Amino acid sequence: MNIHKKILVVDDDITVVDLLTDYLNEQKYEVLGAFNGEQAIEIAVKEVPDLVIMDWEMPLLDGIETTQKLKANDTTKNIPVIIITGRMTSSHNLKTALEAGAIDFVRKPIEQTEIIARSRSILLLADYYKELVRHKDWELTNLTKTNQKSNNAVGELIELIENIMKNCSSIDHFTQKELMENIQLVKLNLRNNTWEHFQDYFNKVHPDFSNNLLNAYPGITPEELKLSYLLRLNMSSKDIAEITNKEIHSIDIARYRLRKKFNLERNEKLQDFLMQF
């Protein structure tokens, strides 16, 4: 059943909108209609459909301009777009549509079998990608927790060595100082390497997150960006506290300050907000 899948059909010709609506309704898709680019953007931002099927030639905003605006909006940028056209059918036109952000290109007159097959394939690929990202997020979360446990174990070992050194009178002052300096260096490298490893993996899974967030909120501090990474993975304050070696109360305060910086309403979830970037 495809009833949970929502498709926005955009064409200034009501006959085409009605025809595609009939085709897609037969497949149990929920269909929304728009008759120009501005209307399409308004509906897409509000409804966030799973797919947009849009005519190239339309008044106010054509399909290419509308696609570019959808791709520039954080709310709609990941919605796949199929461009349909009766006249712009050359390979150059196809290149233009793909460069604008469209994922596919269908020529008019529209064949029912073709548009259904293309729509189904794109929706399946979108679902696969979302599931892949969810799985990668799960891997990243578990990797972070595992690394933190390892770091805690190393930290306990270092602490034990430090205590032995303090209580051992046979170690001369120079040797003790050198050992302490090396221990501090190990601690620093441990913290830095763990975060760098996490950051590298996170950026592979979500390559645009940092830039998008910093472009929208350039005043974010490095610590707030780090917290945003962890919240993007839907981690709880307890998990974040364990990973960052901080008190849960400190994490809650940091989350509150981050919400204020993002100007979030009381009913808006911080994690859901960060998922947009």
Closest CA to 151 of 246, 251, 245: 245
* 65 in a structural domain: yes
Is 71 found in the same domain as 184? no
- Run of H or E residues at 212: helix 209-216
User: Which pLDDT band, with edges at 50, 70 and 90, does 92 fall under?
Assistant: confident
- pLDDT at position 7 is 96
Is 190 found in the same domain as 99? no
Is the distance from CB of 250 to CB of 258 less than 8 angstroms?
Answer: no
Higher local confidence (pLDDT), 35 or 75: 35
Residues of the domain holding 84? 6-110
pTM above 0.95, yes or no: no
* 257 in a structural domain: yes
A 10 A CB-CB count for 20 gives 23
Is 163 found in the same domain as 76? no
Tokens 């979500």 identify what position?
206
Is the distance from CB of 158 to CB of 183 less than 8 angstroms?
Answer: yes
Q: What is the DSSP letter of 37?
A: H
CA 82 – CA 75 distance, rounded (Å): 18
- pLDDT at position 157 is 58
Is 140 found in the same domain as 256? yes
- pLDDT at position 1 is 47
pLDDT (average), residues 93-102 = 87
Average pLDDT, the chain: 80
- pLDDT at position 105 is 86
Tokens 């209307």 identify what position?
39
- pLDDT at position 70 is 95
Query: Cβ contacts of residue 142 below 8 Å, gap of 6+?
Result: none
Last residue of a domain, one of 44, 79, 110: 110
Segment 130-141, tens digit of pLDDT: 665 566 666 666
Is 191 found in the same domain as 85? no
How far CA 231 is from CA of 102, 103, 154, 240, in Å, comes to 30, 30, 26, 8
* 127 in a structural domain: no
CA 241 to chain centre: 23
Is 201 found in the same domain as 79? no
Assess whether pLDDT exceeds 60 at residue 205.
yes
Is 254 found in the same domain as 191? yes
Is 33 found in the same domain as 73? yes
Per-position DSSP letters for 234-255, written without gaps between them: T--HHHHHHHHT--HHHHHHHH
Closest CA to 116 of 13, 3, 25, 50: 25
* 115 in a structural domain: no
- pLDDT at position 141 is 65
Least confident of 57-61, 153-157, 159-163: 153-157
Is 242 found in the same domain as 153? yes
Helices (H), 86-111: 91-100
Closest CA to 52 of 40, 61, 42, 62: 40
Query: Cβ contacts of residue 271 below 8 Å, gap of 6+?
Result: 231, 232, 234
Which of 61-75, 168-182, 211-225 holds the top average pLDDT? 61-75
CA 219 – CA 206 distance, rounded (Å): 21
Is 156 found in the same domain as 71? no
* 156 in a structural domain: yes
User: Which pLDDT band, with edges at 50, 70 and 90, does 21 fall under?
Assistant: very high
Total domain count, the chain: 2
CA 35 – CA 38 distance, rounded (Å): 9
Is 180 found in the same domain as 93? no
pLDDT (average), residues 122-148 = 66
Is the distance from CB of 9 to CB of 53 less than 8 angstroms?
Answer: yes
Assess whether pLDDT exceeds 90 at residue 128.
no
Assess whether pLDDT exceeds 90 at residue 23.
yes
Is 152 found in the same domain as 244? yes
Query: Cβ contacts of residue 102 below 8 Å, gap of 6+?
Result: 67, 81, 82, 83
* 116 in a structural domain: no
**150 is written with which tokens?**
């390892």
